Structure 1
Amino acid sequence: MPPTLRGRLVGQEVRAMRELAGLTVAELAARSRGGVRQIERVEAGHVPIRFPDMVACAPVLGDRYQRLFQASQEAHLAELRCTWGVEATRVLDLLHATATGVHTVAHGTRPFTLFLMPEGPDIVFHAHLTAAFFTEDDGETSAARHIVDALPADS
């Protein structure tokens, strides 16, 4: 299955922790008796993230293992709502770094930003007063693409 937003977030954190520990993917795989492919799948955000994949990452996750394991079990969910601050910033930074296209539609009753992803589902972002809302729902992304495609070329 392709990477998802939640899966990418888990993978980004696992990769950062591995790099902080000074380990390559191969070194972590050797230390954990897991496979290189297992570690690569987790770091790339592919879902479903299987239990053996997360166990293979346990040597670098330490006390964060439980939280990241729980997050990996929710990686298939199409929606993510987070409060403004560090979490929302991390998600937006990840999307801006990986998207192949970004379209913001500010007019109308429901402004949104459409992130076109190179692999996996596109993502629609809605800014609410108290939270950031991200969705990979097919209906929502299709509607957003339709609106973007209908805009005049100079918009």
Structure 2
Amino acid sequence: MPSVKPSTVLGRQLGDELRRFREAAGVSMADAAEALDCTKAKISRIENGHVPVRGPDLSALVQAYGVEDPEARERLATLTRRANRRRRDGWWHQYSEVLSDSYRDQIEMEAICSSIRTFQVQLIPGLLQTPEYVRAMSVASRTWETPEEIEQVVQVRLARQERLIGDDPLEFWAVIAEGALRQRVGGPDLMRTQLNSLLTMAERSNITVQVLPFSCGAHSCMFGPYLLLSFPQLSALDLVLTETVTGNTWIEREPGVRRYQALFDDARTTALPATESLELIRRIAEEHRS
């Protein structure tokens, strides 16, 4: 399934225009963020074309930047409408019935980020899950009720995984707690297949998999899963996505993001090196036998 990146040419053009108006007005990112009652990270993503600009936000920015020219205002408004229309063409919108707003936001960010670092406590990372594993997890979650909905969830997961292949693949680094490898989701045969698939994916040059073994004892990351998303533009700030039962939460303020960057550094240095991690995965896969 071909993906449509939300960072469209129109979105980038709009972001560039807004950046030029901001800089010409001598308005800092911090001042622009105050005008929108948001974070500097959001202003950065707007200017990089990563997030849609809604009408009220555009009006607030135009006022903050002192844009008085009617033609300039209309040009920005037109760009905004066209860019937002293009975003609505993303492949994920055909699955709107099974996607929460936070999950849709995650997919949009995955489509445009350059790398993801993740720590997972109980599950195989979503981008490395097999269809059978996804199906078993979807049934167990009781979030989706019908077979049709569950199959749509599986198709969404498979479409997301296309970011790991192709001409410009995503750099993906996963640290997985040993418990996630031993949890028999769907039974032993399914888990053995899942772990063998994990080994195959880890052979790709853009994918790194490490295991945090039980033997390491208590560690700084044992309290929950998260993802760190990075973007190709030098001015773009990292984002953190924390995952909970009641919904995902975005962290974009720099102190919080830096905390999670430090947590991931702790996780990767505490975990087994990649070669030893893959050997442990092979052994556990053999243990998953009926």
TM-score by length of 1: 0.43
More strand by share: 1
Larger radius of gyration: 2
